[in-house]
Structure 1
Amino acid sequence: MGFFEKVEDRPTPKSVYNWRVYAIAAVAGSAAVMIGYDSAFIGGTLALPSFKSEFGFNKMSKHEVDFLSANIVSCYQAGAFFGALAAYAAAFFVGRARGMAIFSAIFCLGAGLMLGANKERGLGLIYGGRVLAGIGVGGCSNIAPIYISEISPPAIRGALVCMFELGWQIGGLVGFWINYGIAETLAPSHSQWIIPFAVQLIPSGLLLAGSFWLRESPRYLMSKGKRELAIKNLCWIRQLSEDDLYMKEELYAIDQNIERQMVDGGLGFWQPFKLLARSKRIQWRFFLGGSLFFWQNTSGINAINYYSPTVFKSIGIVGTNTGLFTTGLFGVVKTVFTIVYLLFLVDSFGRRRLLMIGAIGGSFCLWYVGAYIAIAKPALHQSAKLSSGGISAVFFFYVWTAFYSPTWNPTPWVLNSEMFDNNVRGLGLAFAAANNWFWNFIVARFTPQMFTTMGYGVYFFFASLMILSAIFVYFLIPETKNIPLEAIDRLFDRRLKASQAHAIVWAELEQEEEALRAGLAAGLEKEGHMVSQVEEV
């Protein structure tokens, strides 16, 4: 199969893969620009001499600086945890598109508050603003992947959900380089460190404006009984008429799924909680979805994102600007390989294989970096020029990034956006996103202390967990690529081995598709025969 060849669950008109569906995914995915930017800029901004001087960091002990830095970074993740949970209610009562508008507005408020911080007012406005901004990104991190997965044709669902991850990396790229740019071009001052905080308003403002262009998810509208508007929106997204056979099949699948939800107990706000409480099958999927974010965050990525100057200093890179430049290259590598993932990998190689490749390859690289630091002890032999061993360690660090970025960075979001039934999807992704932000908080809060106390052992710790994540995926995570959302439930039948589930369900879908098309064709033939009889009379 070629890289750009689409594996379709049924014959699909070319118009379904139109510019509009990609534009919708890009606008919704831009929610992640806010997330990526923050994760990238905050560590570098805290490392700027101007920030340290204004808030007295240069007069504190290392323990005090570690404590304050960890608090500034992690209060954002704490807010995001609660935002992800609150997003379930927002997505249920006001919908996906308006939910994103609400949370992007909250982010704008938080970003604005941070701009009021200075030496006289202290760090209070930064703390408060980061909590509000965290609530905003937590809500968007829940709603945006749900929305994208619900409007996506199955054959390109992985690529479209990956727009969310691409936005994350674009935001990160800007965040990494803006610190280097202002450090190089502006003298240390209040303006130097406040500019990166102000830039946060750009992506949040653009998402707030763009969310009013988005059409509400047809699946959401159908669940609320707004059938006419749902059909209108689906026709607009697919660029097909209601009478098209593809549209009839998609509407039929949505109807069947909603009927099944009604049989299971209804579509109320509390119904997903009731289903979760009594269904081990649903509980199992919640466990898998949340666990994916545990493994993602314990790969070391957020330790590197939030404290990249500290990471590169441990390898032997000295100087604030040199560290920021090296961090900027890290952002470039992440973005490039995310684009590779979106264009070539996610809907061709699938989810399982990529996760295992990324875990095993990334683990090897971290073992190498940790071993170099353990043997060479670069912190004790600092030099303006890296040794050959130091260069090789930096090289393997970038190779780790190349393994991680197209695998564990985006794939847990893709899997969680598609692995839950429609009746629990909102709650499922809220739980998964909350897991992401919980483990993100743990890593962000304790990374400075880990580097201080564990040294090179931090790399061995993350490398070991990456190996365990590969084992977890092999035995427990089934492949989901190209399977329609309405059939995802079958993949998680505990009687099926994870490695075999996709092939079995795909074969079942092909048989059902043939039967359905035969039935629809027979119905149309019968209808045409009846019309001809009436005309004869």
Structure 2
Amino acid sequence: MGVGFQIMYSALICYLSISMGIFFAWPSVTVQIFKSNSTPLHRPMSDAEISLFGSLSSIGAVVGTIIAGALFDVIGRKACAVLAAMSYVISWGLIATVTQVEVILLAVFIAGLGSSAMLIVRLFVSEICQESIRGSMTTGSLLFCSLGILLSYALGGWTSYRTMLYTFLAIAIVGVFLTGILRESPTFLMKKGRVEEAARSIAFYRHAAIDSKEVLHEMDNLRRAFNPDLIGDNTNPEEVALKPENEEKQQVREKISFWKFMRKSYPTRRALFVTLSLVALGTFQGFTVLQVYAKPLFDEAVPNMSSTVCSIIQALITLAVALMSGTLSDLSGRRPLLIYSSIAAAVCCIALGTQIQFHWAPHWVTALFMYLFSVCYTFGAGTIPYVLVTDVFLPEIKSFVSTLVIEWSWATCFILLFMFNPLVIWFGLGPVFYIFAGLCVATAVFTFFLLPETKGLPVDVVQGLFSRKR
């Protein structure tokens, strides 16, 4: 029963990702409406405003993730989740009641603040679930985000503008209530010294008595996590913690900041450079554009097929591939999977560019290559750079690096989305895919020369691989 309740509460947390997915894909179904003369806004959006409309949420996500990272250990995980859910309510409320273009852009930025859910949900779930299901439950955020993207495509294509807005507002309001049901993370409570509340939180999420063996075992694990010197099978943890040498070690550990750690550790600096570079190269492969502008892209590239149906099929394929990508990276290895998937993605981009520019095959071939590109990207550049965070960084800095990587991901998304429309205007849609193909090749080359294989290796061995000059 305890596992079932953990799955249920994880789903309540991951529900927040539905609103994130909805808003991420929303420009796809409204961008053509907002720049037309029949727009529901007080005037059509200009080309610059269209670029901001598709990209401002990424800037909001950068700011929101910084705020969430600062507030995690101040107000707690639950309060951060509620604030993220509220940002979507405010955003959809503004969009549903105001028609000013400037207010719509402000609402997009506010919704972007809620995209800190990408960090909040994963951290919250990892802290309430037991180890046997923790990995699978943290992927729930991806599942619910993909469901949000599907809802955005479906409602945007098959319902009226007002019906779509009020439905999305209702979904956001439900998210606030669901996050309110949750209890605070036991990790946060233990960090604040609220030991009894932490035990009650564990009992709540495990659906067990507060004095049960399961709760006591989890409490012992938390104590060990906050004091790694509590080790040994036959030693009482409290006795070990009182030893002077352990106190001294703990004090030394607390004095080492992230920046001092980075200055002293060449392997960590190099691993961070490689990871951030792969995140940027992966983003610039162009899949984000395919998600945010799916409907207008399918309208232009596949005019004789329903863009709504094409978008939904693409979202379903991405969801299915994402569920398999983690397992495949464990079977084949991170390095070869990223190299070969990036090369395959480059081939798909070249085929897409030539097909859009020269129309050498039927229109359904364009959709086919878009789907194949989605598969290649999700297996490789869409997954591997984020898996590396868990592989290559020591526990002392892993949480900080996770926040930094997500920040960098949103920043590169903003750059890509803001530049996409000007690039299409300057070069045309087909040649833009040639640029994406070049970046896919650059990802494969960079990976070949600078990324060692990390599959199945302990972090100390991985650090040793990054200490070698390549």
TM-score of the two chains, using structure 2 as the length reference: 0.81
CA-based RMSD of the aligned residues comes to 3.7
Question: Alpha-carbon deviation of 1:299?
Answer: 1.8
Is the contact made by 1:84 and 1:431 (CA closer than 8 Å) also made in structure 2? no
Aligned to 2:72: 91
Change (3 A) 1:457 1:477: farther
Question: Alpha-carbon deviation of 1:89?
Answer: 0.9
Aligned to 1:491: 462
Is the contact made by 1:352 and 1:477 (CA closer than 8 Å) also made in structure 2? yes
Question: Alpha-carbon deviation of 1:253?
Answer: 4.8
Look up the equivalent residue of 1:80 and give its one-letter code: A
**Residue 224 (structure 1) aligned to one of 192, 196, 210:** 192
Instruction: Provide the rounded CA distance (Å) in 1 between the counterparts of 2:182 and 2:462.
Output: 31
Pairwise mapping of residues 24-173 of structure 1 onto structure 2 (< 5 A)? Answer: 24-48=9-33, 52-54=37-39, 65-118=46-99, 122-137=100-115, 139-153=116-130, 156-173=133-150
Change (3 A) 1:285 1:254: farther
Question: Alpha-carbon deviation of 1:169?
Answer: 0.9
Is the contact made by 2:87 and 2:113 (CA closer than 8 Å) also made in structure 1? yes
Instruction: Provide the rounded CA distance (Å) in 2 between the counterparts of 1:312 and 1:285.
Output: 38
Aligned to 2:451: 476
Instruction: Provide the rounded CA distance (Å) in 2 between the counterparts of 1:82 and 1:243.
Output: 37
Look up the equivalent residue of 2:273 and give its one-letter code: F
Is the contact made by 1:363 and 1:467 (CA closer than 8 Å) also made in structure 2? yes
**Residue 254 (structure 2) aligned to one of 256, 265, 275:** 265
Look up the equivalent residue of 2:279 and give its one-letter code: F
Instruction: Provide the rounded CA distance (Å) in 1 between the counterparts of 2:380 and 2:169.
Output: 29
Instruction: Provide the rounded CA distance (Å) in 1 between the counterparts of 2:459 and 2:178.
Output: 30
Is the contact made by 1:302 and 1:440 (CA closer than 8 Å) also made in structure 2? yes
Instruction: Provide the rounded CA distance (Å) in 2 between the counterparts of 1:352 and 1:26.
Output: 32
Instruction: Provide the rounded CA distance (Å) in 2 between the counterparts of 1:426 and 1:44.
Output: 35
Aligned to 1:398: 371
Q: Secondary structure at the match of 1:225?
A: coil
Look up the equivalent residue of 1:265 and give its one-letter code: E
Aligned to 1:465: 439
**Residue 439 (structure 1) aligned to one of 389, 394, 412:** 412
| Long gaps (5+) in structure 1 | 1-14, 183-191, 379-386, 499-537
Instruction: Provide the rounded CA distance (Å) in 1 between the counterparts of 2:226 and 2:420.
Output: 45
Look up the equivalent residue of 1:107 and give its one-letter code: Y
Is the contact made by 2:262 and 2:268 (CA closer than 8 Å) also made in structure 1? yes
Question: Alpha-carbon deviation of 1:418?
Answer: 7.1
Question: Alpha-carbon deviation of 1:257?
Answer: 7.3
Is the contact made by 2:92 and 2:169 (CA closer than 8 Å) also made in structure 1? yes
Output one character per residue of 1:165-207: Cα deviation in whole Å (capped at 9) or x when no partner: 112211111111222212xxxxxxxxx3344343333443333
Larger displacement relative to structure 2 (24-33 or 348-357): 348-357
Question: Alpha-carbon deviation of 1:282?
Answer: 4.5
Aligned to 2:155: 178
> Sequence identity, in percent?
19
Pairwise mapping of residues 238-249 of structure 1 onto structure 2 (< 5 A)? Answer: 241-242=213-214, 248=220
Change (3 A) 1:29 1:372: same
Output one character per residue of 1:321-361: Cα deviation in whole Å (capped at 9) or x when no partner: 8333322222222223234447x546666655544453233
Instruction: Provide the rounded CA distance (Å) in 1 between the counterparts of 2:266 and 2:97.
Output: 49
Question: Alpha-carbon deviation of 1:84?
Answer: 1.2
Instruction: Provide the rounded CA distance (Å) in 2 between the counterparts of 1:473 and 1:235.
Output: 45
Q: Secondary structure at the match of 2:139?
A: helix
Question: Alpha-carbon deviation of 1:497?
Answer: 7.2
Q: Secondary structure at the match of 1:53?
A: coil
Aligned to 1:299: 285
Look up the equivalent residue of 1:371 and give its one-letter code: T
Question: Alpha-carbon deviation of 1:312?
Answer: 2.5
Look up the equivalent residue of 1:297 and give its one-letter code: T
Aligned to 1:211: 179
Change (3 A) 1:359 1:29: farther
Larger radius of gyration: 1
**Residue 198 (structure 1) aligned to one of 166, 174, 183:** 166
Question: Alpha-carbon deviation of 1:134?
Answer: 0.9
Pairwise mapping of residues 336-415 of structure 1 onto structure 2 (< 5 A)? Answer: 336-341=320-325, 345=328, 351-352=334-335, 354-374=337-357, 376=358, 378=359, 388-415=361-388
Aligned to 2:239: none
Question: Alpha-carbon deviation of 1:294?
Answer: 1.2
Aligned residue pair count: 447
Change (3 A) 1:194 1:180: same
TM-score of the two chains, using structure 1 as the length reference: 0.72
| Long gaps (5+) in structure 2 | 231-245
Q: Secondary structure at the match of 2:227?
A: helix
Change (3 A) 1:212 1:388: same
Change (3 A) 1:66 1:279: same
Change (3 A) 1:493 1:99: farther
Question: Alpha-carbon deviation of 1:127?
Answer: 1.4
